[in-house]
Amino acid sequence: MKTIAKWAAIAVVLLLAIGLIFIFSLPSGPHSARDVRLYTSLLNEIAAVDVPHNSFLSDEQKTDHADLLALVESGKQLTEQQSRTYRQLIQQILLDHQSRLVWLDTSLTVMNDVEIDEVNNVGGTGIEGLHDHHDQSARRNFSDLSVALQRLETANGITAPVVRIFSANRAYKNLTDIILHLAVAAHSVSVEYMPPDLDVEPGTMAADFESMLMAYKIAQFAPVNSQTYVAQIGRAMDAYDRLVLAAQARINQRLSPLERRLAGRWLALHTIAPQPDTTMTVRFPR
C-alpha cells in the first residue's frame, strides 16, 4: 500500500509539473484590438455554423438537408421558408444535445414553453417545449461575468491572489460563453428581444451586452444571410469586441504577471474555450 501511495503521489506531482509547464508556455498578455476582432468573427462562425453542422447533425440529417446547409455555409441568402426550416432544424439538434451543452456551461438556462403567446421567428408563437433559452443563458453569463470581475477587483487579504486568479478565469469563461449562446441563437427559434428589467447606463459593459443581444435578436428574425441579418450580426460582433476589450482591461489592471499566467487570458485553453482556427473561412469577413 505504501508503494502504491508513493507512486500515486509521484504521479500527482508530475501531472502538476506538466500542467504548470504547459500553462507557463502559453502567452499571457492581453489580445490586441485587431486580434479580438478576428477571434470574435471566428467564434461567431464556430458557434453559428461549424459546431452545429459538423458536430451535432447526424449523417442522415446532413443528407436530408444537404442543399440547405450548403446555402448557409456559402453565405447565400435563404428565403423566408428556407430560414424557418433551417431554424427549426437547428432548434431540434440543440435540444438533442442539450444535456451535453449544460455540462459545458452551468449558466445555460432551460425553460419550458417560453412566451407562448408571443410571435416567434418561424411563423408561429412562443418557444414550445423545454429548451435552452439563449437570451436568458447569455444574460446569466453576463451576470456571472460581472460578479467575477467585482470579486477580482475587491479581493483582499491573504487569499486575494487565489481569488483574483479563479475570478479572472471564471470571467473569461463566461465572456466566451456569451457569444457561443448568441451566435447560434440567430439560427434558432425564439421570440423578439425583451429589454432588461433595469435601465442600462450608456457606455458601460452592460450597454455593450444589450447592444449585442439586441442585434442578434434582430438578425434572428431576418432571413438567414440576408442583408439585414449580415448587418445586425456585424453590429453584434462589434459590441462583443468592446465587451472583450473592456473585460480584458479590467482583469489585467488587477492581476500580477504570475496571476495572469495562472488565470489564463481570454480563449486560453484552461478557460475552457474553443480554439479558433485562424485559417477558417467565415461567411462575412469584417
206 close to 150: Cβ distance less than 8 angstroms = no
**What is the predicted pLDDT for the residue at 101?**
76
Residue with grid cell 410571435, as numbered in its chain: 119
Number of helices (H), then strands (E), belonging to the chain: the values are 12, 2
pLDDT digits (tens, 9 = 90+) for 92-123: 999 888 877 766 777 777 776 678 888 998 99
Is residue 283 a contact partner of residue 45, using CB atoms and an 8 Å limit?
yes
pLDDT at site 116: 85
* Within a domain: 228: yes
User: Where does residue 156 rank: exposed (0-12), middle (13-18), buried (19+ CB within 10 A)?
Assistant: exposed
What does each C-alpha distance from 34 to 30, 156, 226, 260, 276 come to in angstroms? 11, 34, 26, 21, 15
Full-model pTM: 0.89
Is the dihedral angle over the CA atoms 119, 86, 111, 241 positive or is it negative?
negative
Identify whether the C-beta of residue 44 lies closer than 8 Å to the C-beta of residue 179. yes
Q: How many domains does the chain have?
A: 1
* Residue 279: inside a domain: no
Check: CB of residue 105 under 8 Å from CB of residue 184. Answer: no
Half-sphere exposure of 157 (CA within 13 A, CB side): 5
Residue type, 231: A
Domain that holds residue 93: 2-271
How far is the C-alpha of 58 from the C-alpha of 205, rounded, in Å?
A: 38
The reply to whether 64 falls in a domain is yes
- Is 124 domain-assigned? yes
Strand partners, 191: 120
For 192-211, what is each residue's pLDDT tens digit? 999 998 889 999 999 999 99
Residues 235-261, mean pLDDT to the nearest whole number = 97
